[in-house]
Amino acid sequence: MIYPRDPDRPEIAMGARARRSPFFDRAKARGACMYSIYNHMLMATSYGNPGREYDLLMNHAAIWDVGVERQVQLEGPDAMKLAQLMSPRDVSKCKIGQGFYTPILSRDGGVINDPILLKLNEDKIWLSIADSDVKLYAMGLADAMELDVVVTEPDVSPLAIQGPRAEDVVAAVFGEEIRAIRYFYFIETEIQGIPVVLQRSGWSKQGGFEIYLCDGSRGGELYDLMWAAGETLLGENWGPGTPNPIERIESGLFSWGTDFDEQNNPFECRLGKWCDLDGDHDFLAKEALLRIREQGPREQLVGLHLAGSEPLPGAVKPMQLTRKDGSEIGTLRASTWSPRLERNIALARVLTAESELGNTILAEVADGSMVEATVVNVPFV
Ligand code: THG
């Protein structure tokens, strides 16, 4: 056979570089048919029926293999010190058993990542990261600052249950007491001898939990357990899904690497609300952020309504945004047809001068044509 079979649909060589989650075989058996690469791992991005996946998430519950949400573990007496150097939030306010959404910043204020920080102990922190190499950044910092902390990627892999019935599915397995867990709080527990961390979290605004598997050899068992509980409770209204590209745009959940990256500062990408510049805590980017706050950011992450009552082809790469005279003002980062709003919506980065609500601009769409777009608030729904 000659490769690639279809040059427009390149195949991935399944070597050691394309790491697999402990749920990979189960997800494949349930119909995973398309993958992206995230944190050097294969991430399932489709089970072949986007409409059904959206419906399960919005109205019922779905099980997502999110083993690609890798943990960067900071362990040792200086774990909190290292976390604070990288985070603009006052991480001393994070309680043991709590999660904090936080930007991870370089000294010049660049957004290196936007993980959930989990405080397991005073001397043990996990950063549940988006798609960039936080482990290497943390190792470099720890070394240069001579901190007493060990930075590793532990054998931990999240499995998400998301949707309005997710809590019922999780309670059926872990017991009714899990209903008392508050948003972003977590417990360390086990189920049938499988060690897990159970957190009320997940990359959707439809509610649910993430079960962080702490023994990769038992991924199949955990998946089967959760699958059986969902099927018993919900029957047809249960199935596999992925972090949902439609719901996440509607809900204004951010995707590092798609919406912004380390070349952006938090004020350019709506992460300013997580930057506490007036507290006593010090962090690497503080000086830079004070300066940027003073000057004002160069560009802004905004929502757009795109013209048209039919779904437009979704953005496959950053697309051009221009003024009516054709001059460039930014890029469209991600777009989708919104079933809830019945219109095309997008997240875009535009020059600050063009970012006010109601401003109209032109957006390039995937077929190369330009459509009219209006700046609107985020979240869209
Ligand atoms: N869960 C876990 N790990 C993750 C993600 C996750 N790692 C990768 C990626 N997602 C990290 N990025 C995000 C981005 C947004 C949110 C969580 C992780 C999020 N934000 C809410 C918001 O912005 O409305 C909540 C913020 C808050 O109120 O504190 O949930 O999803 N384990």
> 224-270, pLDDT tens digit by residue?
999 999 999 999 999 999 999 999 999 999 999 999 999 999 999 99
CA gyration radius for the chain?
A: 21
The answer to whether residues 253 and 64 touch, using CB atoms and an 8 Å cutoff, is no
201 lines ligand 1 (CB under 6 A): yes
**Cα-based angle 182, 187, 192 (whole degrees, multiple of 5):** 130
DSSP state at residue 308? -
State how far the Cα of 327 lies from the Cα of 217, in Å rounded to an integer: 55
243 lines ligand 1 (CB under 6 A): no
Closest CA to 69 of 126, 1, 12, 109: 126
User: Which residues does residue 351 pair with via DSSP β-bridges, in sequence order?
Assistant: 299
> Taking residues 353-375, what's their average pLDDT?
94
39 lines ligand 1 (CB under 6 A): no
Q: Flag the least confident range among 5-9, 57-61, 64-68, 319-323.
A: 5-9
**Cα-based angle 33, 35, 37 (whole degrees, multiple of 5):** 170
Nearby residues of 46 by Cβ (< 8 Å), 6 or more positions away: 32, 33, 34, 53, 242
User: Which residues does residue 346 pair with via DSSP β-bridges, in sequence order?
Assistant: 304, 335
What distance in angstroms lies between residue 97's CA and the mean position of ligand 1's atoms? 16
Single-letter amino acid code for the residue at 217? S
Residue of the nearest CA to atom 28 in ligand 1?
A: 101
Give the tens place of pLDDT for each residue, 140-198: 999 999 999 999 999 999 999 999 999 999 999 999 999 999 999 999 999 999 999 99
According to the model, what pLDDT value does residue 1 have? 60
Nearby residues of 281 by Cβ (< 8 Å), 6 or more positions away: 84, 90, 91, 92
What atom in ligand 1 is closest to the CA of residue 158?
32
Q: Judge whether residue 352 has pLDDT over 80.
A: yes
Confidence of residue 283 (pLDDT cuts 50, 70, 90): very high
**Cα 80 to Cα 66, 99, 101, 107, 141, distances in angstroms:** 26, 14, 15, 18, 13
346 lines ligand 1 (CB under 6 A): no
**Cα 104 to Cα 109, 138, 142, distances in angstroms:** 9, 10, 14
State how far the Cα of 301 lies from the Cα of 330, in Å rounded to an integer: 10
Confidence of residue 368 (pLDDT cuts 50, 70, 90): confident
Give the tens place of pLDDT for each residue, 49-69: 999 999 999 999 999 999 999
What distance in angstroms lies between residue 255's CA and the mean position of ligand 1's atoms? 9
The answer to whether residues 172 and 232 touch, using CB atoms and an 8 Å cutoff, is yes
Residue of the nearest CA to atom 23 in ligand 1?
A: 253
- 198-229 as b/e, with b when 16 or more CB fall inside 10 Å? bbbbbbbbbbbbbbbbbbeebbebbbebbbeb
Beta strands 238-241 and 61-65 are parallel
Could you tell me what percentage of the chain is helix, strand and coil, using 3-state DSSP and rounding each to the nearest 5?
25, 30, 45
The answer to whether residues 15 and 38 touch, using CB atoms and an 8 Å cutoff, is no
According to the model, what pLDDT value does residue 183 have? 98
State how far the Cα of 273 lies from the Cα of 70, in Å rounded to an integer: 25
128 lines ligand 1 (CB under 6 A): yes
**Cα 355 to Cα 74, 129, 192, 290, 293, distances in angstroms:** 38, 29, 52, 22, 17
Residue 192 exposed, middle or buried by CB count within 10 Å (0-12, 13-18, 19+): exposed
State how far the Cα of 289 lies from the Cα of 274, in Å rounded to an integer: 12
What atom in ligand 1 is closest to the CA of residue 101?
29
99 lines ligand 1 (CB under 6 A): no
